[in-house]
């Protein structure tokens, strides 16, 4: 069977690897593979301009790593990565490591913390789709939804919790409610917190991209102008929905254009020690707490080898669904906004030795209310020779993209 894969991101490369017993060609319009995954050396630091890693709880990803012989290059996050902060009421507050510590923490005001304890008695779900914010407010209260859930959504989607569909964006939460009638009871039944450890490679996620790219028939700088078979038996389109819409026939294009994205800018800052910043994962900034940035990752604390001795690497995310205008700021304005917010969060400021900015105009796909019905409409008009895959549809994480790609049978 002759198969064309459109898009050389992780979904397209993994799909080509999965289908390698066929005649498969990957077409990537840009001059480099990987999509939003991009690792480079900057000021002797190893910088990820896209995702920072993946949780080691997805068998499909682990199987792919094993098949490629990359096991020896896998690196797990340091224990310091378990320490996380949220910015609330003018300062950083540590997120509690366990439920019993939650009541004693300052991550929420006391009344908001007590309201969370009433979660098992929350009313059931409404008919139809429900936003992430409404779901959280119904179950754990508006206070926790406005701070903790807002921060969580910011960290995963750079999105607006009042627009995202909980069923599509966080299906595991809906599954807990459906099975146990309560998130707290469900968490006790399955264990608290996300399973798995944040994981990367000794040379960053680019290691995985480069290994896959070297094992498939990849044509860089070659895109398609029209979404047609073009002499192939099957076409797997993994480019973001807005780009796929520009190639698709009118009925399919109209449905694809309904899937929005959140643009994100990444500002990498390299500091000389000493820097009065805790050895931690970083912090998230919920909307309405006075910061414009979405949060900051202390990369040199998360993974060994990200910065040389005597330096600290911090990556700051700006923009998102609620602040797309941030990507239109010039470099000076963007760095000034980042410095102002870090000064507020840290209580002090030290000029970095160097900085660099990378903008992702399409950023992260948004599974907004009605996303499930949207996918049904897309499926109804999608021709039988075409398969749509990638982060625009059923999961934005690296694990989700790989899992979907490796499970597909033409």
**What class does CATH assign to 102-188?**
mainly alpha
Tens-digit pLDDT profile for residues 358-378: 999 999 999 999 999 999 999
What is the C-alpha separation between 296 and 283, in angstroms, rounded?
5
- State in Å, rounded, how far the first CA of the chain is from the last one: 9
Length of the chain: 410
What is the C-alpha separation between 32 and 220, in angstroms, rounded?
7
User: Which of helix, strand or coil describes residue 237?
Assistant: strand
Phi, psi of 299 (to 5 degrees): -60, -35
CATH 1.10.3110.10 domain range(s) in the chain:
102-188
Q: Could you tell me where the DSSP H helices lie in 21-141? A: 59-68, 99-102, 110-116, 132-140
* CB burial string 242-270: b at 16+ within 10 A, e below: bbbbebbeeebbebbeebbbbbbbbbbbb
For strands 2-6 and 23-28, give the pairing: parallel
* Neighbour tally for 123: CB within 10 Å: 7
Ranges in the chain, pLDDT < 70 = 189-194
Query: What pLDDT is attached to residue 190?
Result: 59
CA–CA–CA angle 98, 104, 109 (5° rounding): 110
**Residues 202 and 305: beta-carbon distance below 8 Å:** yes
What is the C-alpha separation between 147 and 126, in angstroms, rounded?
23
Q: Does domain 2-37+206-260+367-407 have CATH number 3.40.50.1370?
A: no
CATH 3.50.50.60 domain range(s) in the chain:
2-37+206-260+367-407
CA–CA–CA angle 195, 197, 201 (5° rounding): 145
């Amino acid at each position: 069977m002759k198969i064309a894969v459109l898009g050389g991101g992780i979904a397209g490369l993994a799909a080509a690897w999965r289908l390698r017993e066929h005649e498969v060609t990957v077409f990537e319009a840009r001059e480099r593979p990987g999509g939003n995954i991009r690792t480079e050396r900057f000021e002797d630091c190893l910088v990820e301009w896209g995702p920072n890693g993946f949780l080691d709880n997805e068998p499909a990803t682990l199987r792919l790593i094993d098949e490629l012989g990359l096991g020896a290059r896998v690196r797990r996050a340091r224990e310091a990565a378990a320490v996380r902060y949220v910015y609330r009421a003018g300062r950083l507050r540590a997120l509690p490591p366990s439920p019993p510590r939650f009541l004693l923490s300052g991550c929420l005001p006391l009344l908001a913390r007590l309201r969370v304890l009433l979660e098992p008695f929350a009313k059931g779900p409404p008919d139809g789709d429900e936003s992430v914010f409404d779901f959280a407010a119904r179950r754990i209260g508006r206070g926790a939804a406005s701070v903790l859930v807002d921060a969580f959504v910011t960290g995963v989607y750079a999105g607006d919790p009042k627009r995202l569909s909980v069923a599509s964006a966080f299906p595991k939460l809906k599954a807990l409610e459906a099975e146990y009638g309560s998130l707290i009871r469900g968490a006790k039944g399955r264990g608290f917190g996300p399973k798995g450890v944040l994981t990367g490679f000794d040379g960053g996620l680019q290691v995985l991209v480069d290994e896959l790219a070297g094992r498939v028939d990849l044509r860089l700088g070659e895109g398609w102008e029209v979404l047609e078979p073009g002499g192939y038996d099957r076409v797997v389109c993994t480019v973001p929905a807005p780009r796929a819409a520009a190639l698709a026939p009118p009925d399919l294009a109209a449905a694809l254009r309904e899937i929005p994205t959140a643009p994100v800018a990444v500002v990498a800052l390299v500091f000389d020690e000493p820097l009065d910043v805790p050895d931690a994962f970083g912090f998230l900034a919920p909307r309405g707490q006075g910061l414009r940035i979405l949060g900051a990752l202390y990369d040199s604390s998360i993974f060994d080898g990200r910065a040389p001795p005597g330096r600290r690497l911090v990556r700051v995310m700006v923009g998102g669904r609620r602040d797309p205008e941030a990507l239109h700021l010039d470099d000076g304005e963007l760095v000034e906004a980042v410095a102002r917010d870090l000064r507020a969060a840290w209580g002090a400021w030290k000029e970095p030795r160097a900085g660099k900015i990378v903008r992702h105009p399409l950023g992260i796909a948004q599974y907004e209310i009605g996303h499930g019905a949207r996918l049904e409409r897309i499926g109804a008009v999608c021709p039988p020779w075409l398969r749509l895959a990638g982060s625009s549809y059923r999961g934005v994480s690296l694990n989700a993209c790989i899992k979907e790609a490796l499970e597909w049978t033409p």
